[in-house]
């Protein structure tokens, strides 16, 4: 049985990391165009670096919660092939034990050259103005900003995983940002879809697929373990 988890900022909310949208989200505190676009980077790189340096430091101080850990533990069950496709740039899935993981929007723990996108470096601490790649250009966070293309290999691998999923478990995402959200539409018609999120499911799904959708209107830390128990029972 193939089980794919597709996760967003909401899965890390109970670890203390902010979501983007909704009350008290990051986009209430910062202007998207200032910190999350190539134009913002050109205008004020220091502001962008400060934003991501703070996010990295907040993430390093946070701990994986019961949802990340439940997914990591579930991946050890040999009856299932478990994959995680995340929009998150934090590393809480890795620290919760997940393997077979795709980060669609990049990682807080990588920097990237501004002249050669193939030059990616693992980092633990701040990126500063004056930090350079091996070809001499300023380093930036390896994050996909609005208007930038996602890594084609990652998005097509994610789509393939979703196409073959018997269960798709969507956790903590508003499904507003494309092309990432679009992968939800790649499921086969018999795929059982769970949506674990206290908010509404607003995406259009054709009726043939919608009948297989279950909305667990709960926070991730209670909803995810429930879904995993249900999938385990259904497969016995």
Catalytic residue annotation: 105
Near ligand BJW by CB under 6 A: residue from 91, 142, 174, 192:
174
Cβ distance to ligand BJW smaller for residue 178 or 204:
178
Stretch that binds ligand BJW, among 8-16, 95-103, 119-127, 183-191 (CB under 6 A): 8-16
Residue closest to ligand BJW, measured at CB: 10
**Please, are residues 170 and 13 in contact by the beta-carbon 8 Å criterion?**
no
Site for ligand BJW in 49-108 (CB under 6 A): 87, 89, 105
Measure the CA–CA gap between 108 and 234, rounded to whole angstroms.
37
Q: Which is nearer to ligand BJW, 76 or 197 (CB)?
A: 197
By beta-carbon proximity to ligand BJW, the closer residue of 149 and 236 is 149
Among 64, 91, 101, 197, binds ligand BJW (CB under 6 A): 197
Distance of CA 39 to the CA centre of its chain: 23
Give me the residues paired with residue 4 across strands.
83, 168
The 10 Å Cβ neighbour count of residue 21 is: 15
Q: Which two tokens stand for residue 86?
A: 């995340």
Spell out the residues 6+ positions from residue 143 whose beta carbon is closer than 8 angstroms to its own. 36, 52, 89, 105, 106, 107, 108
Q: Interface with ligand BJW by CB under 6 A: which residues? A: 8-10, 13-14, 19-22, 25, 36, 87, 89, 105, 143-144, 146-149, 172-174, 176-179, 197-199, 219-220
């Amino acid at each position: 049985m193939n089980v794919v988890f597709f996760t967003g900022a909401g899965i890390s909310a109970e670890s203390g990391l902010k979501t983007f949208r909704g009350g008290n989200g990051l986009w209430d505190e910062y202007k998207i165009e200032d910190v999350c676009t190539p134009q913002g980077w050109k205008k004020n790189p220091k502001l962008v670096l400060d934003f991501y340096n703070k996010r990295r430091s907040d993430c390093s101080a946070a701990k994986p919660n019961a949802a990340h850990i439940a997914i990591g533990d579930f991946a050890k069950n040999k009856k299932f092939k478990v994959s995680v496709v995340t929009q998150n740039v934090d590393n809480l899935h890795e620290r919760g034990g997940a393997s077979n993981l795709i980060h669609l929007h990049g990682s807080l723990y990588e920097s990237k050259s501004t002249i050669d996108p193939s030059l990616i470096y693992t980092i633990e601490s701040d990126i500063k103005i004056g930090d350079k790649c091996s070809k001499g250009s300023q380093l930036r966070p390896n994050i996909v900003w609005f208007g930038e293309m996602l890594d084609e290999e990652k998005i097509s691998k994610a789509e393939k995983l979703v196409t073959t999923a018997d269960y798709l478990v969507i956790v903590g995402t508003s499904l507003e940002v494309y092309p990432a959200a679009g992968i939800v539409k790649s499921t086969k018609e018999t795929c059982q879809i769970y949506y674990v999120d206290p908010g509404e499911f607003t995406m259009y799904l054709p009726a043939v697929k919608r009948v297989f959708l279950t909305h667990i209107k709960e926070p991730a830390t209670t909803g995810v373990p429930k879904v995993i128990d249900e999938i385990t029972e259904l497969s016995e």
